[in-house]
């Protein structure tokens, strides 16, 4: 069983990235051969056009993942572009992918509907993502809800290739944990770095506190009961709290007679202690860039080995490698 996921180095990771994706990477890591995680720098090129920023973000993403618990002895961590075979497979897959399939994908569709110009990189983004997944015979892909469509597209692409050339690809499945599939942001919408409503995992504590205290809430009088199920502050609190703490807060909501300010203050404390150890580890790792570079180089070597095996199979299946 191979678990695989990728994350773009387009900025520092936020709570949505952590609870929606990274935590699952860590929970599922159970061997260098079975868990593959990579930093999707080729995908990030569709949005970042600053070489220093992309390089810095890529390195920071590795630091963050390692600090958060990704263990190089139990998983393979690498940078997407270090495995050259992915670009080759991407082209091969493009030849059997229909335009209609890509036209339905949300990133491209959203841009087009706003009348914004889209480049070919954005349009073919899901094909590169399919190559990422199929290149390693991946079975399970841990992601947040917003990536579900891309995994479906990958299944379609693999299916159409298989129907032309035989059973070449393993068909993967998305792994989505429902409770954390869509972490809300400060304003109650989906947390995303593009919406300016996110809290970064390693955000400076003062700014984190300010953001938490500014989470939007309704203007009900204190004494009235509130419904915890529909409240994004409650949702955020439950990500950090124990089951007992969450249950007790739900009872306070239903009873009424409390202010949202109290809950926010509790969330400040919970969030700080939740990531305290990771913050410490990150500082230690930042002082050892050589170690991080070695982890990535080792990871690239292992991933390249598996990729070569799959690419060879693909090329034989469609006549690129001449077997005469
Ligand atoms: P962003 O929306 O901030 O640009 P990305 O698209 O880079 O985030 O997402 C990286 C990973 O984190 C993906 O697996 C994605 O599904 C997950 N993710 C992003 N935002 C959230 C969220 N608010 N809730 C749950 N998962 C999320
Ligand atoms: N598109 C994903 C995102 O924005 C990142 C990604 C690239 C990915 N390739 C992947 C995720 C392969 C899972 C599997 O979050």
pLDDT exceeds cutoff 80 at 323: no
What's the mean pLDDT in 12-30? 96
Dist. CA 141 → ligand 2 center (Å): 9
Answer whether residue 234 is part of any domain.
yes
* 229 and 89 within one domain: no
Dist. CA 220 → ligand 1 center (Å): 31
Dist. CA 194 → ligand 1 center (Å): 10
pLDDT exceeds cutoff 80 at 304: yes
The number of domains in the chain is: 2
* 130 and 56 within one domain: yes
Residue 111 annotated among the catalytic residues of the structure? yes
The pLDDT assigned to 10 comes to 92
Answer whether residue 15 is part of any domain.
yes
Question: Comparing 129 with 322, which gets the higher pLDDT?
Answer: 129
Q: Which ligand is nearest to the CA of 125?
A: 2
Residues with CB under 6 A from ligand 2: 5-8, 40, 43, 129, 132-133, 141, 143, 147, 150
Dist. CA 22 → ligand 1 center (Å): 10
What's the mean pLDDT in 99-107? 94
Using the atom order of ligand 2, give the atom closest to the CA of residue 142: 13
pLDDT exceeds cutoff 90 at 38: yes
Using the atom order of ligand 2, give the atom closest to the CA of residue 125: 1
Choice from 3, 4, 8 to test ligand 2 binding pocket (greatest atom count within 8 A of CB): 8
Report the distance separating Cα 194 and Cα 11, nearest Å: 10
* 108 and 18 within one domain: yes
CA angle 262, 268, 274 (to 5 degrees): 135
Residue 193 annotated among the catalytic residues of the structure? yes
The pLDDT assigned to 181 comes to 86
Residue 182 annotated among the catalytic residues of the structure? no
* 209 and 124 within one domain: no
Domain that includes residue 212, residue range: 203-274
The pTM (predicted TM-score) of the whole model is: 0.95
Q: Atom 15 in ligand 2: which residue has the minimum CA distance?
A: 7
* 210 and 137 within one domain: no
Q: What's the chain's average pLDDT? A: 96
* 100 and 38 within one domain: yes
The pLDDT assigned to 269 comes to 98
Report the distance separating Cα 321 and Cα 324, nearest Å: 9
Instruction: Measure the CA dihedral 206/210/212/215, to 10°.
Output: -170
Answer whether residue 135 is part of any domain.
yes
Domain with 70 in it: what CATH number? 3.40.50.620
Positive or negative, the Cα torsion across 231, 203, 282, 277?
negative
Categorize the per-residue pLDDT at 81 as very low, low, confident or very high, splitting at 50, 70 and 90: very high
- Classify residue 293 by its DSSP letter: H
Of the candidates 11, 24, 6, 23, the residue with the CA atom closest to the CA atom of residue 76: 6
The pLDDT assigned to 223 comes to 87
* 218 and 178 within one domain: no
The pLDDT assigned to 18 comes to 97
The pLDDT assigned to 57 comes to 97
* 127 and 265 within one domain: no
Percent of the chain beyond pLDDT 70? 100
Cα distance from N-terminal residue to C-terminal residue, the chain? 34
What's the mean pLDDT in 298-306? 98
pLDDT 10s digits, 107-165: 899 988 999 888 999 999 999 999 999 999 999 999 999 999 999 999 999 999 999 99
Domain with 211 in it: what CATH number? 1.10.240.10
Categorize the per-residue pLDDT at 54 as very low, low, confident or very high, splitting at 50, 70 and 90: very high
Q: Which residues, including other chains, have CB under 8 Å from residue 168's CB and lie 6 or more apart?
A: 161, 162, 313, 314, 317
pLDDT exceeds cutoff 90 at 322: no
The pLDDT assigned to 222 comes to 84
* 243 and 179 within one domain: no
* Residue 135 · residue 310 · CB < 8 Å: yes
Residues with CB under 6 A from ligand 1: 7-8, 10, 16-17, 20-21, 143-144, 146-147, 180-183, 190-194
Q: Is 158 helix (H, G, I), strand (E, B) or coil?
A: helix
pLDDT 10s digits, 174-227: 999 988 889 999 999 999 998 999 999 999 999 999 999 999 998 888 889 999
* 167 and 41 within one domain: yes
* 216 and 92 within one domain: no
Query: Which residue in the list 112, 193, 265, 316 is annotated as catalytic?
Result: 193
Least confident among 48-57, 127-136, 213-222, 238-247? 213-222
Answer whether residue 170 is part of any domain.
yes
* Beta strands 173-175 and 140-142, pairing class: parallel
* 253 and 143 within one domain: no
Choice from 21, 24, 184 to test ligand 1 binding pocket (greatest atom count within 8 A of CB): 21
Answer whether residue 283 is part of any domain.
no
Q: What is Dmax (Cα atoms) for the chain?
A: 82
């Amino acid at each position: 069983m191979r678990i695989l996921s990728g994350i773009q180095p387009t900025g520092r990771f936020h709570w949505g990235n952590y609870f929606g994706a990274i935590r699952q990477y860590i929970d599922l890591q159970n061997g260098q051969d079975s868990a593959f995680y990579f930093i999707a720098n080729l995908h990030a090129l569709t949005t970042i056009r600053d070489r220093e920023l992309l390089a810095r973000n890529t390195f920071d993403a590795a630091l963050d993942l390692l600090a958060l618990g990704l263990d190089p002895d139990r998983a393979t961590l690498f940078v997407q572009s270090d495995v050259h075979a992915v670009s080759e497979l991407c082209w091969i897959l493009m030849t059997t992918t229909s335009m209609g399939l890509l036209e339905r994908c949300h990133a491209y569709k959203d841009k087009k509907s706003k009348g914004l110009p889209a480049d070919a990189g954005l349009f073919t983004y899901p094909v590169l993502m399919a190559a990422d997944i199929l290149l390693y015979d991946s079975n399970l892909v841990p992601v947040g809800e917003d990536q579900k469509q891309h995994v479906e597209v990958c299944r379609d692409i693999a299916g159409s290739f298989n129907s032309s050339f035989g059973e070449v690809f393993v068909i993967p499945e998305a792994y989505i944990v429902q409770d954390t599939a869509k972490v809300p942001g400060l304003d109650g919408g989906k947390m995303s770095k593009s919406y300016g409503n996110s809290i970064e995992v390693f955000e400076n504590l003062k700014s984190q506190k300010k953001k938490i205290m500014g989470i939007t809430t309704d203007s009900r009088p204190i004494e009235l009961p509130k419904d915890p199920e529909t409240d994004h502050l409650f949702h955020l609190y439950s990500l950090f709290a124990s089951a007992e703490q969450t249950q007790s807060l739900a009872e306070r909501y239903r009873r009424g007679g409390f202010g949202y300010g109290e809950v926010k203050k509790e969330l400040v404390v919970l969030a700080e202690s939740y990531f305290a150890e990771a913050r410490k580890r990150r500082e230690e790792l930042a002082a050892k860039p050589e170690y991080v570079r070695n982890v990535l180089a080792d990871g690239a070597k292992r991933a390249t080995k598996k990729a070569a095996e799959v690419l060879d199979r693909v090329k034989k299946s469609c006549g690129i490698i001449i077997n005469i």
